[in-house]
Structure 1
Amino acid sequence: MGYREIDTDALPPQDRFDWWREAVEQGVAPTRISSEDPGAFGGRAAFATLGPAQLTTMAFSPLTSDRPAQLVRRSDPETFELTLILEGTMRVTQERSETLLHPGDFAMWTSSRPYSGHAMGNSRGGLSHAVILHLPHRLVPLPRTRIAELLARRMPAHSGMGRILAQYLRSVAEEAPGFDEPTAQRLGTTSIELATGFLAEQIGTQERLPAETRHHLLLAAIDTFINDNLADPGLDVGAIAARHHISVRLVHHLFRGRPETVSATIRHRRLERCRTALADPALRNLTVRAIAARWGFCDAAAFNRAFRTAYGVTPGKHRSAALGYRPLHGQPTAPARQVNDG
C-alpha cells in the first residue's frame, strides 16, 4: 500500500514552509499555498492510498490555499475533496458558495473548478487538523447537478451518516500505516461507499444508490447503533429492527455474511467493554457485577459463564491479573499468613 508521512520539525525554521508547500503539492491537486508568517510555519501530513481513493491527514499553521483556473487547466485529477475538520477553523470558497467550518464539520470541493481555502488555526494558537478523502468523480454515482449543491457547504458530522463516516475516517487514518494492499483496497471501497451514502443523505437521493451499497450503509448504521446502545439491556435484534424501520428477518440477512450472528455480535462487544473496564484501575471501586450491569448484563451468573467461555478465565481472576492484586488507595492489604515454626 502507498503510504508516506512528512513533518517540518526536522527542518530549520526558515526552510519549513517552502518544503511543506512543495511536498503537499505533490500529494494533492496543484495549488498555490501562502502563509502570512512562513518563518513560524509548522506542519505534518500523511498520505495513504486506499485502492481507488486516497486519504490525507494534515496538521498545519494558518495558511491560504488557492487553486485558480490556470492550475485547473494544467492538471486535474477529477476528484471531490471531502474534508473533515478536526481542529481549527477554515473558510472555503468555490464558485459562488462560501462557508465557515469548525471542528466536527465536513465540507467538499472539486478539483475541477477553482477554489480557495483559508485555515485560521484554533483558539489556543495550535495547528489546524483535517482529514481529507479524495473521491474520484467517476466512483460517486450521484447526479452531478445535485452534487454541485454541496460544494463549499458546511455539512455537520454529529449525526446520521456524517457521524458514521467521521468515525470511520478517523479510525482508518490512525491505522493506515499498518495496512497491507488487500486491506487498503477493501477499506478504500468502504470509504467510497460511506462517503457516497453521506452525500446522498445530504441531497436526498439515497434511492439512486445501488442496492448493495444501500445494504452496506444500513449495516454501518446498525453497527453504530449497537455500539451506542450496548449498555441497554433491551438491545436485541428486535430493537435494532424497530430503530431502522426494517424487519427482523432483514437484520439477520444483513449479518449472514459475517462470522457472528446479531446476538453474538452484541454479546461479544459487551464482553469486550467489560474486559477493558475490569482492567481499568480507575474503576477498581466498582464490583464485577456493577461493571457487567453497566454494559447490559443483568444476570451475574450468565455474565460469568459468558466471560469464562470467551476468555478462559473468570471476570474476577481477569481483574486480579490485570491489576496485579493491588489494593485501593487507603485500603489495607490482607494480613500476612503466620507461619508456625514449631
Structure 2
Amino acid sequence: MLIETAFCTRDVLPPDRFSCWREHISQTYVAMDVEEDRTADTTVSQRILSLGAIQLWTMEHSTMTLRRTQKLIQQSDPELYHLSLPLRGTMGLINSDHEAEYEPHDLVIHDTSRPHLMRAITGYGEDTILGTGLFIPRKLLPLPDNAIDSLIMRRLSAREGIGALLAQFLTQVTRDCGSYRPDDGARLGTVAADLLSALFAHALDAGNPLPPESHQRTLVLRIRAFIQANLHDPQLTPRTIAAAHHISTSYLHLLFQHEEETVAAWIRSQRLERARRALADPTMRAIPIHAIAARSGFSRAADFTRVFRRAYGVSPRDYRHQTAPLDP
C-alpha cells in the first residue's frame, strides 16, 4: 500500500478542531492563515498519498478561506506548485493581479511562492467541498518557469484530452491505493509529473512558442500521455504513434534515445504495470486473467504470461493469488 497520511476532525475534540486543522495544514503543506465560519463545527477530512517527491491529496471540508501572505512566504517556502481539481463546490483564487472562480472539473495551478487567497464554498444543497490535486516541487517540471508563469491560475479543463487523463489518474490512484506497493509511489509520481507537464505543454502550444529543447521534451510528454490513453489497443506501435503525432518513426526513436527505455519497451512496461495493478485489485477478482491481458493490450494470453513472468518472477495466476486479501 502507498504511504498515506490522514487527518480527520472527527478524531479531535470539538473545541480543538479548528486549531488542530490550522496546525496540520502548515505541517503537511505550507503555513496558511485559515479563516472559517467559527459558529459552525470545523469539518475536515484529508488524505495525502506519497508519490515520491510528489504528494497526491484529497480533501473534504466545510466552507473556509486560506490566505498565503508575503510574511508567511518569507518564513518558509518549499517552492511547490499546487494543482487543484474541485470535484464538489466552487473555489475562488485571488492574487495581486488576478481573480478567478473554478467549478467542478476545472484544473488550476498556483504557486506557494506567491501571496494568494483561496476561498472554497459549498454549492446549493451541499454541506462540504470535495477536491483532489497534487503538491509538486517546481524543479520536477521540465518546462521553463516563465512558461508556467503564464498558466498560474488559468482554468484548464479536466473534461477532455490530457486534462481528463490527469483527472482520471488522480482519482484512480486515490481509489486503488491499496493495490500498490510503497515502492510504486515514486513511479506513480513520475507518471503524475509527466501528465501535468504534458497538460501544460498542450496549453502552451496554443499560445507562446517554446524553445526547441523544451518543444522536444513536451512532445515526448504528449507521446507518453497518448500511449497511456491507448494501452488497451493491440495495434499501438511506434509506427501508429508516430503517425498520430505527424512525425516519422525514425524521429520518434530519436526522441526516446535520451529516455530510460525505448518506445516499444516503455509500451510493454506500462501494459505490464496496468495488468499487475488489475491482478492485485480485489474488485477485479472475478475478471478472467485473459480479459485483463486483453484490456492491457496483450492480444495473446500466452505472450502475456511469458512477459509477465519474466518481469515479475511469477505467473499472473500466482501473482493474483499472492496479492489476494486474507479472509477475516
Aligned equivalents of 2:183, 2:59: Cα separation in 1: 25
Q: Secondary structure at the match of 2:264?
A: coil
The reply on whether 1:62 has 2:67 as its aligned counterpart is: no
Q: Is the 8 A contact 1:14 1:38 kept in 2?
A: no
Ranges in structure 1 where 5+ consecutive residues have no aligned partner: 281-294, 296-302, 312-342
User: Does the C-alpha gap of structure 1 residues 177 and 121 become closer, same or farther in structure 2, counting only changes over 3 Å?
Assistant: farther
User: Does the C-alpha gap of structure 1 residues 156 and 138 become closer, same or farther in structure 2, counting only changes over 3 Å?
Assistant: same
Aligned equivalents of 1:257, 1:236: Cα separation in 2: 12
Q: Which amino acid aligns with 1:182?
A: D
Q: Secondary structure at the match of 2:45?
A: strand
Q: Secondary structure at the match of 2:183?
A: helix
The reply on whether 1:203 has 2:204 as its aligned counterpart is: yes
Provide the TM-score with structure 2 as the length reference.
0.70
What displacement does 1:41 show?
2.4
* Partner deviation per Cα, 1:182-239 (whole Å, 9 max, x = no partner): 2111111221121112112222256543856643531322332465xx7xx9x76677
Q: Is the 8 A contact 1:14 1:39 kept in 2?
A: no
User: Does the C-alpha gap of structure 1 residues 3 and 60 become closer, same or farther in structure 2, counting only changes over 3 Å?
Assistant: same
- In structure 2, the partner of 1:29 is 30
Q: Secondary structure at the match of 2:46?
A: strand
Q: Is the 8 A contact 1:105 1:155 kept in 2?
A: yes
Q: Which amino acid aligns with 1:122?
A: G
The reply on whether 1:193 has 2:159 as its aligned counterpart is: no
Q: Is the 8 A contact 2:201 2:218 kept in 1?
A: no
What displacement does 1:48 show?
2.0
The 5-angstrom pairing of residues 154-193 of structure 1 reads 154-176=155-177, 179-193=180-194
Q: Is the 8 A contact 2:106 2:157 kept in 1?
A: yes
The 5-angstrom pairing of residues 39-188 of structure 1 reads 39-176=40-177, 179-188=180-189
Higher mean C-alpha displacement, 1-10 vs 203-212:
203-212
Aligned equivalents of 2:304, 2:144: Cα separation in 1: 48
- In structure 2, the partner of 1:257 is 265
- In structure 1, the partner of 2:224 is 219
Q: CA RMSD in A?
A: 3.8
Q: Is the 8 A contact 2:230 2:236 kept in 1?
A: no
What displacement does 1:123 show?
2.5
Q: Which amino acid aligns with 2:26?
A: E
Aligned equivalents of 1:49, 1:41: Cα separation in 2: 26
What displacement does 1:310 show?
8.2
Aligned equivalents of 1:47, 1:157: Cα separation in 2: 21
User: Does the C-alpha gap of structure 1 residues 156 and 259 become closer, same or farther in structure 2, counting only changes over 3 Å?
Assistant: closer
User: Does the C-alpha gap of structure 1 residues 242 and 261 become closer, same or farther in structure 2, counting only changes over 3 Å?
Assistant: farther
User: Does the C-alpha gap of structure 1 residues 214 and 243 become closer, same or farther in structure 2, counting only changes over 3 Å?
Assistant: closer
Q: Is the 8 A contact 1:82 1:106 kept in 2?
A: yes
What displacement does 1:309 show?
10
Provide the TM-score with structure 1 as the length reference.
0.68
Q: Secondary structure at the match of 2:139?
A: helix
Aligned equivalents of 2:264, 2:240: Cα separation in 1: 18
Q: Which amino acid aligns with 1:219?
A: R
Aligned equivalents of 1:104, 1:143: Cα separation in 2: 26
Aligned equivalents of 2:87, 2:48: Cα separation in 1: 17
Higher mean C-alpha displacement, 237-246 vs 175-184:
237-246
Point out the structure with max Rg over C-alpha: 1
Q: Is the 8 A contact 1:157 1:166 kept in 2?
A: yes
What displacement does 1:94 show?
2.2
Q: Which amino acid aligns with 1:257?
A: A
Count how many residue pairs are aligned between Structure 1 and Structure 2: 278
Higher mean C-alpha displacement, 81-90 vs 13-22:
13-22
- In structure 1, the partner of 2:317 is none
Q: Is the 8 A contact 2:223 2:241 kept in 1?
A: no
Aligned equivalents of 2:66, 2:5: Cα separation in 1: 22
Ranges in structure 2 where 5+ consecutive residues have no aligned partner: 257-261, 288-294, 306-328
